[in-house]
Amino acid sequence: MELMIDSINAEEITNALEYYPIKGITSNPTIIKKEGKIDFFTHFKKIQELLEDKASLHIQTTQTTCDKIVEEAKYLTSRLGREVFIKIPVTKEGLKAIGILSSEHYHITATAIYSSIQGILALLAGAEYLALYYNRMENAGIDASAVIKEIKNAIVSNNSNAKILGASFKNTAQVVSAISSGAHSVTIPYSVLEGFLANPLIETAETNFIKDWQSLYSDETILDFN
């Protein structure tokens, strides 16, 4: 199980890495737009410095034809390193590019997956991660949990090492549903990540524990005991 953050904001990434067991950073043109017109390679090199090789980095191509996708993927990795995962939407052209790049041992994250057949084709083409858009699927009336289960079955039956990467989440319940349905990984917006532990019941329990301790030992802590 892997937890990733869907953000390229340096402050969000720094905080997420400090407090949560983050294993990856994902991005796409829409996420980049939220950050503004960044100095592209300078920004992503800064993110790599923050990651210190402790988490994977996933960057999406911006082209729509196979030749251009492959060209852009190779340029990206020439600047940022072959360890970067190249995100490619599973279109007809994208699928062809996934096959070419994976055969040359590039790391590929197939993205914009809305159906089981997209995921199956991407894993057969050699993608390592299969990014499925959970909330967008639900909004379109697609049973995202069922699609995850179907793709998971295909992974198992093909003895594939591909991992389902749940994405496009708006709340904690969707994240839990994706994981319980079989997603190997999830990538979360920072706002959703911060909501994981924002539960007044947790805060109340912690407060009561402290009150009970202080009723016996006042301001003493375990560190004060011999």
Residues noted as catalytic: 87
Measured CA to CA, the distance from residue 20 to residue 91 in angstroms comes to 33
Q: Which residues pair with 57 in a beta bridge?
A: 25
Nearest to 49 by CA among 82, 17, 73: 17
Distance in angstroms (rounded) separating the CA atoms of residues 72 and 88: 11
Q: What is the DSSP letter of 169?
A: -
Compute the distance between CA of residue 54 and CA of residue 122 in angstroms, rounded to an integer: 26
Q: For residues 129 and 85, is the Cβ–Cβ distance under 8 A? A: yes
Classify residue 226 as exposed, middle or buried by CB count within 10 Å of its CB (0-12, 13-18, 19+): exposed
Distance of CA 117 to the CA centre of its chain: 21
